[in-house]
Amino acid sequence: MILDRLANAVAYFEGRSPFARGFDFIRTFDPSAEDGIYPIDGDSIYAIVTTYDTKPRNEARCEAHRRYADIQTLLDGEELCEWHPLEGLRVSEAYDDARDVLFVEDPPMPATFALCSGLFAVFHPQDAHKPSCDLRGRTTVRKIVVKVRLDG
């Protein structure tokens, strides 16, 4: 997992890498545009823009992906996220290939962090993560998740 300021993304992903293209999308996205799915490079790189209310930690689910990495950033609001290495966690819902998601039981001591505008988190397949949690109570957030295909 990577957590940093958006301004520092070039330190991790340079040139025309798929991740750099995802950050280009984030940097140039018009916040007045509607929620939806935005193709960047077919199904290899695309963005999902959503608006939703955060929820209590016990109502959110810890997930991981196999084919895609996530770049997550907020346009508005703040949320608490959890992270833990996937290895050793017990599966609570089998991998769904169509949705590229696997759900796992909550780890006993996850790392937690606040995600807000100006920050980004990158989650790879080895990263179990639980986004969308209340930080200081329920709030509405607007989020961009860029999906970067890793298997070709």
Note whether 131 and 122 are within 8 A (CB). Answer: no
Integer CA distances (angstroms), 110 to 95, 105, 138, in order: 21, 11, 21
Rounded to whole angstroms, the Cα distance separating 65 from 67 reads 6
Contact in structure between 7 and 117 (CB atoms under 8 Å): no
Which pLDDT value is given to residue 15? 80
Domains (range + CATH), the chain = 2-149 (2.60.120.370)
Residue 20 — φ and ψ, nearest 5°?
A: -60, -40
Task: Tell me, yes or no, if the pTM score tops 0.75.
Answer: yes
Q: What pLDDT, on the 0 to 100 scale, is given for residue 152?
A: 59
Query: What does the pLDDT profile of the chain (152 residues) look like in tens digits?
Result: 999 999 999 999 878 899 999 999 999 999 999 999 999 999 999 999 999 999 999 999 999 999 999 999 999 999 999 999 999 999 999 999 999 999 999 999 999 999 999 999 999 999 999 999 999 999 999 999 999 999 85
- Helix ranges (H only) for 17-94 are 18-28
